[in-house]
Each structure stands twice: as C-alpha cells, then as structure tokens.
Structure 1
Amino acid sequence: MPFDVAGKKKSLLEKFGNWCPEVVTLIRKTPESMILRRDIYDRDMMYTWGAGRVTLLGDAAHPMQPNLGQGGCMAIEDCYQLIHELVQASESDSDVQISEEIVLALRRYANKRLWRVGLVFAASRFASKMLASYKPYIEFKTGPLAHLLTQQITHPAIPVFRAFLQICLPKFLAWITAGHGLCLKRERNQCKVQDRKQP
C-alpha cells in the first residue's frame, strides 16, 4: 500500500488500525508532523569476503535491514570468529609461512560464518518483504464481490502464517540468540564470576 504523504496518520491507521490497541493508540496520539517516512535500502550479501590478507566483516560483507536487529550482532560474531582463526594461525606449528597461514585463517573465518550469516540475512530480508506486502484482509475492488468492500474478511494466509510463526519463530530466535559461540563452545575458555580477582 503506498504511503500517502498528505494523510500520513490516515494511511498508517488504514494499514495498522486493526493491530493491538497500543499500536493504534500510538499512531493516533502522534502528531502528523512527527510521522516520518524513511525508506530502507540494502544490497545482496557478498559470498567472497576477502582476497589475500584482506577480509571484510559486518555490514561491509553482509549489510542487513534492521528488521531483526541483527546487523551489529552479526558483526560482533564475525569479530569473534576472526580473532579465533587468527589466534589458531599464530599458534600453528606447521611449516607454512605465517603470511600463508593468515590467508588460510581469513578464508576459514569467512567459510565458517557464511552459512549462519546467510540465514539471518535471508530472514531479515524476508521479514522486510512481509512487512511491505502485509494485507490482513481480502480486498474486492471490482467485479461481483465489490459490494464486500465494506466487509473485513481475513486473508486466509494470515492464520496459516501465524501458526507457522508460533511453531518456528521461537526456535529460530533461540538459535539467533544462542550466538555463533555454539560453534566455538568446546574451544573457548569458560569464565565464572567466582574466578574474578577481588580488588
């Protein structure tokens, strides 16, 4: 549904007027002059993050829309994995020169991150498309059912999608919040509060 700049509040109420009361109240109480439209653009994720001894991380490699709030989180996970690979490269006893070991470490870092980042990136983009095309009711604009324009008939996909989300979303969010640390759990030192040095 296009955003009517002249009647911003009306446009928002048409789209979100049947959401929970808190959303409707927030829209109604916000002055029209304070309602702003900010378009969000992104680009496709890169699948090659580096060359030689140069690599990318965070938004430079995989810019994400803010729908899931995971852009910064993925960048932190990238840093963690990158440091882990570089530490392993520095401790390596192989006969490979250190510069070659660093190149291999950077490739391992990217390869280990691609799958997880790719899934979160796809989920974020999917959430954006769902929000942009959200239509809770069937619209009969012309034809023999045009008289139903005043009726609000729930789109049949809404209950199906809601059930899918109730089953899958908690598991997906648990996987996201568990962090990339699951892959490194056996390899990192565990810190405990009782290990803290007293002043």
Structure 2
Amino acid sequence: MNRLIVASNNVKKIKEIKAILAKYPIDVLSLKEAGIDIDVEEDGNTFIENSYKKASEIYKIVNKSMVLADDSGLMVDCLDGAPGVYSARFAGEHGNDKKNNEKLLKLLEGKKIEEREAKFVCAMVLIIDDSTVVKVQGEIKGRIIDEEKGENGFGYDPLFYVPEYDMTFAEMNSEIKNSISHRAKALKKLEGEINRLMREE
C-alpha cells in the first residue's frame, strides 16, 4: 500500500482528508503518525506558496513516501480577501477558533447578508516523487452569517453559510461537507494523478 504523509497535525483536517481518500489503497498518515516533529513556518503570500513550502520541507525528510500539503482559509469580499492566509491566526493566536470568529463578526458588524459574500479556498500540493509535483486549488462560495450555527466542523465553519443547502458548514454532516467543500474540490482535482499512480503499479 502507498504511504501518503499529510503535512499537518490538524486532527479534524486529517480526518476529512482520510474520509475523502478512503476509497483508495493509500495509507494516509499525519505528521505525528509518521513520527515527524517539525513545524514549517507559513510565510507565503498565497495559499499555494504555503502549501508548496510545507510539502517540499516534509518531502525532504521522508523516505520514498508521497507528501500532501494543504493550506486553506477564508476570504471575505468586503474585507478585501481577509483573513486569507492569516485565517488560522486572524486574532493573533494560532488555531484559536473562538477568537478568530469573534474578530470576524466584529469586523462585519452592520453589514447586510448580501454584503457578506465569502469563499473558502483550499490549495493542495502533492509531491509524488522528485519529478512529479501537482498543484491544485478548490473553492466554495458562501456568506458569513452574524452568529455561529452548528456543532460540526471547525474553524469558521459555524459562520460559513452555503445558500444552496440552507446550512452552515457546521450544520452539515461530514458526508455532505466532504462532498462539496473546498478541500473536497481540491482533492477531486488530484484524483487524476492518484488514479494514474494506481494504474502504474
């Protein structure tokens, strides 16, 4: 079985990626599961830059394993694309979902729902071997509501409302979210390369 190391220790993100790739004979591992203790600084100006940096740094230290890196975040139109690449540390402390959501709501106070257009973006870089690097990006559009709704998901999910489903990401079950999310769309674009790899074995 192929080994795919995901350049992340975000438990919920890893769970989503494993669920989406479950149909493939691939052993998906987080950094922790692979015994790798490294923190790559995300100092790029775009999601793709950050994703490529993480993938390449991890690829340097693994032994013939594929590496997948994911950098994702929320972009709000009326905030000129913020929080963008700073999504995880928008309020200053990395990974504090509560503070990040509070800051976002504060900035959007007084804005009508039609002024709260936003999109989730997921940039992925898959390094298969020294000569095969695949870069893709997936997006899903929605709006930011004025209060958190739902108990599922993570990050900005309770605030990200998808009109077509009349639900926030946090109100969706994992099956629905994993079929329409920015991460699912990015992974879908990678499937061609993964299928090719399977055929060559």
TM-score by length of 1: 0.27
Q: Name which one, 1 or 2, has greater alpha-carbon Rg.
A: 1
